[in-house]
Structure 1
C-alpha cells in the first residue's frame, strides 16, 4: 500500500455498539482513515457523533444521501474510497446500493440485507461494477480459524464426514426488548431484523463458519425454530440438520435463551483421519484429534503454524488475540485487496475476507431455515 485508504461510515453514532467496534478494528493496523460520516438518522446526533470523532465539520453529514452526493463531488484524491455500513439489517440495502451506484466500495455488517431478493440485487450490482463488497463475518478472521481451514483444505483430516457447530447465548432469555434494551428491540422486530431473529443474528455466523472452515456448501437442511420467551415476535432458539455437497452431514444449534451463556460459538469438524475443535471463547487454541495418533494442541503465535494463520496474527504466542483483532483482520485483508486493485498490482491470495457471495448465502440460509421450519417436509432443498 502506498497510502492510507479513506473511509466513510453510515450509522454507528452515539449509543451504538457495533460502530465503535468497527472503528477500533479499522484503526488497528493504521491502514485506514475515517474521513466522513452520516452517523445517525437524527441530525443533531449525527453532528454530535461526528464531532466526537473529530471529523471535519463539512464532512459530518445528516444523511447518507447527502454524504454520497457531496463526497462524489470532491476531487478523487480527497473523497472517501469506501463506505462502512453499520446500521440495523433493514437499513443495509439502500445505502449499499447507492454506494455502489456512486462508485464506492462497501464494507457492511451481516446479515447483508433484509431479504434474499435484496441480496441478489446487490450481487448483480457488484458483478456489474467490479467494486468490492466485504461482509463482517468476524469469526472467519481468527488466526486459528484460518489454520483450521488450511488444515482441511490440505486434506490432513481426510474427506470431511461430520460437522457440529453451536452458538449459544443467554442475553435474550428474558423479554429484554420490552425493557428498553435497544439492541434487543431491533433484533426481535421483524420490520427491522427480517424473517429470522436468532437464526438471522447468530445462526448465520454458525453456518458461515461451517462452510468457511470445511470448504463445503450446504445443500439440504431440516430446521426447527422456536419462540421460547412469551411475547417475542421472532425465533430465539433453533436447531438445524444439515447436508453438505460432498455428502457429509451436520448439526447447527443456535440459541439466545441459553441463560448464563455469553458467546460460546464452537465448531467440531471430523474427517476420515481425524477431527478438529475450535471455540470462540478460547480462540487461541485449536485442538486436533487423530484416529491413529495422540491429540495435538495448536496455539496462536507460534512458528509452526501455516503462513495464512501467521499473516493474521499480531502478537507472540501466549498473548491473547480475540474479537477485535479478528475484526481488524477482515479490515486489513479488505483494504489491502482494495489497495492492490486501485494500484493495479497482484492481490495476495492469502488476503481473504467474506464477500457478497457469502452475503447471498447468508440470506439464503435465513430463507431456507424459516421455510423448512414452517414446512412438514423432513428435508428442504437449499435454494440460493
Structure 2
C-alpha cells in the first residue's frame, strides 16, 4: 500500500448499512467494493429494495443476518440506532428522489450518511436535508467520486499553490452515448423520469459531476450561468444534452457540456483549466495522467505516484507508478476520507486538515446548478444567478 490506507491492527471496522443497492443494482456494487477496498468498513445491515422479497434475496446474497435485512429504511434507522452494535454509517444508493427521506431518517438517529449524488430531487428537499444535517451533527459525505482521483487532487493542489496564476478559462465536459436512442432498461427508466430525477436529465446525472469537478479543482464558485438544454430523443421528458456558459468568482469564465447522446463517448469526463501562468488538462478515461503547460514552455506529463507529484495525490495512491488506478479506487478514496473523519469524530478529535470529501454543501451547490440551468434554458438561455442556498 503506497498510501498506507489499510486498517491498522488496533482499529475496529466501521459498521456500515446500505439503503438501496440490491440485486442487479450497479451503483450498490460500486459502493460495496469501494467500502471494502481499504478494509475500513463491514456491511452489517440493509434496506436493499422497496420489494421485501428482493430485499431478503439481496441480503442473503451479501451474507447479512436476516434479522438485519429490513423492509423499510424507517424501520432500519430506528432498529439500528437501538442496537448496541448498530450501524455507525449508512450508504444511500437509491435513485435521486429517494435520497432525502432515508438520509434524514438516519441523521435524526445520529448516524453518519454517505450519499450518492445528486443530493436530492429538488432544491427544497436539499435545503431541508441540509438543515437536518446541521441539527444532527453527524457527518454527511456526498460521493462525487471523481474528486477522489489522485491526479485530480494534484491539479487542485497545483492551482491552490499558484502555479497557474489567476485563472481565466475553465472548460469541462462529460459525454456519454448510452441514451442516444430510446433505451428500455431499469437504469434508463428512472434517469429519464422527471418524477424520479427532479426534472434534470443529463444535467443532473453527469452535469453535476462536471460542475462539481470544476469547482473542486479550481477553488472557484460559479456565480451565474446561461444554459441551453435539449431533449433530442423524441418523447424524452428530460434533457439529454446541455451547453452551459458559466461565470466564476474572480472573473474566470467557463463552458460546460454534458451529453447522453454523443456516439463514440463512453465516460468522457474532461477538465481544462487555464490561467495567466499556465494550463492543466485531465481526462477521466486516462485518470493517471495530468498535463501541465507553463506558459511559453513545452507540455509536461505528470503521472500518478510519479516524479514531480506532491503529497495531495501521493496520499491517495495505492500502487506504484505505471499500474493503473481509476474509477473504483477514486470511489474508495472518498470512503477512506469518510472513515478517517468518522474515526476522528468518534474520538472527539478534529478531522485532519488533509482529509477532503464532498459535503452536503457541495450537494446544495449541485442542486442550485440544476435549478439555474432549468430556469435559464426555459427563459431562452437568459443569464441567471444561483438561488440562496441557506437552509
Range class of TM-score, shorter chain:
over 0.9
Partner of 1:344: 348
Corresponding residue to 2:146 among 135, 139, 142: 139
Query: 1:12-66: CA deviations, max 9, x gaps?
Result: 0011110000000000000001110110011011001001111112111111111
Unaligned residue ranges in structure 2 (runs of 5+): 1-7
Q: Is residue 211 of structure 1 aligned with residue 215 of structure 2?
A: yes
Deviation of residue 376 (structure 1)? 3.4
Unaligned residue ranges in structure 1 (runs of 5+): none
Q: Is residue 17 of structure 1 aligned with residue 53 of structure 2?
A: no
Q: Is residue 241 of structure 1 aligned with residue 245 of structure 2?
A: yes
Deviates more, 1:343-352 or 1:259-268: 343-352
Query: 1:52-99: CA deviations, max 9, x gaps?
Result: 111112111111111112112111xx1100111000001111011111
Q: Is residue 200 of structure 1 aligned with residue 199 of structure 2?
A: no
Corresponding residue to 2:70 among 61, 71, 80: 61
Deviates more, 1:52-61 or 1:302-311: 302-311
SS at match of 1:107: strand
Question: Distance between the aligned counterparts of 2:161 and 2:24, measured in 1?
Answer: 44
Partner of 2:309: 305
Query: 1:93-112: CA deviations, max 9, x gaps?
Result: 10111111111110000001
SS at match of 1:265: strand
Question: Distance between the aligned counterparts of 2:195 and 2:136, measured in 1?
Answer: 30
Residues 202, 241 of structure 2: 8 Å contact kept: yes
Corresponding residue to 2:54 among 34, 45, 49: 45
Q: Is residue 28 of structure 1 aligned with residue 32 of structure 2?
A: no
Question: Distance between the aligned counterparts of 1:72 and 1:21, measured in 2?
Answer: 25
Question: Distance between the aligned counterparts of 2:112 and 2:42, measured in 1?
Answer: 15
Deviation of residue 304 (structure 1)? 2.9
Partner of 2:101: 94
Question: Distance between the aligned counterparts of 1:346 and 1:322, measured in 2?
Answer: 29
Corresponding residue to 1:270 among 259, 269, 274: 274
Q: Is residue 162 of structure 1 aligned with residue 169 of structure 2?
A: yes
Deviates more, 1:56-65 or 1:27-36: 56-65
Q: Is residue 224 of structure 1 aligned with residue 194 of structure 2?
A: no
Deviation of residue 346 (structure 1)? 3.4
Deviation of residue 260 (structure 1)? 2.1
Deviates more, 1:86-95 or 1:287-296: 287-296
SS at match of 2:293: strand
Partner of 1:119: 126
Partner of 2:135: 128
Deviates more, 1:257-266 or 1:339-348: 339-348
Deviation of residue 293 (structure 1)? 2.0
Query: 1:278-337: CA deviations, max 9, x gaps?
Result: 000000000011113221110002253111101111010000000000000000001111
Question: Distance between the aligned counterparts of 1:207 and 1:346, measured in 2?
Answer: 29
Partner of 2:116: 109
Corresponding residue to 1:325 among 315, 324, 329: 329
Q: Is residue 370 of structure 1 aligned with residue 374 of structure 2?
A: yes
Question: Distance between the aligned counterparts of 1:358 and 1:346, measured in 2?
Answer: 20
Question: Distance between the aligned counterparts of 1:231 and 1:374, measured in 2?
Answer: 18
Structure 2 length normalisation: TM-score? Answer: 0.95
Deviation of residue 377 (structure 1)? 5.9
In the TM superposition, structure 1's runs of 4+ consecutive aligned residues that sit over 2 Å from their partners are: none
Partner of 1:259: 263
Q: Is residue 3 of structure 1 aligned with residue 12 of structure 2?
A: yes
Structure 1 length normalisation: TM-score? Answer: 0.97
